[in-house]
Amino acid sequence: MPNLATLHDEYALHGHIDEDAPVVSASSVLIDASPDRIWGVLADLRAWEGWATDFRLRALDAVEPGREFRWAQKGVPLRSRFAVVAPGRELSWTGSMLGLYRAIDRMVLTREDGRTRVTLEESLDGPLVRLVYGEDNLRAGHEARLSALKDHIESAA
């Protein structure tokens, strides 16, 4: 079970999640918008509460590699650090929950037939993580967030 620093330095900074983690999920959605337009929404974490209903930002200095931010998802406090901040291509971070669970989250944008595919990948590790927060729950949360992102962007067009 890699520690958070290893997950950040050896995985996330190199564009990877921990495929060997007990809980791994990937979901994607096609959005009728350019990568730059989608990036503008993703990189504005202060506005996420307007479309990602389970997201609450608690502290954010800047969206830059190495910068930390604190947030809550469904009321659970999280502490994260940005890994990759590549405009129009990828936003990723590592983080911890309750001091016990460690995660890597990646949102990758790719052009596809005039639209943009947003892929959300995550690896999650920690004691009894499969029982506490299994793959089905993780995937359902990702799909809900991607659906909300798509609706938010396409309804604003």
Quickly state the pLDDT bin for 152 (edges 50, 70, 90). Answer: very high
Q: What is the pLDDT of residues 72-130, one digit of tens each?
A: 998 889 999 999 999 999 999 999 998 889 999 999 999 999 999 999 999 999 999 98
135: left (phi over 0), alpha (psi -120 to 50) or beta: alpha
In the predicted structure, residue 157 carries a pLDDT above the cut 80? no
Instruction: Please state the length of the chain.
Output: 157
Average pLDDT over residues 134-151: 94
pLDDT at residue 30 tops 80: yes
What is this structure's pTM? 0.94
Asked if residue 129 lies in contact with residue 26, where contact means CB atoms within 8 angstroms, the answer is no
Sketch out the chain's domains with CATH numbers: 4-155 (3.30.530.20)
Residue (of 128, 127, 110) closest to 119 by Cα position: 110
Written as six digits, the tokens of 21 are 């983690």
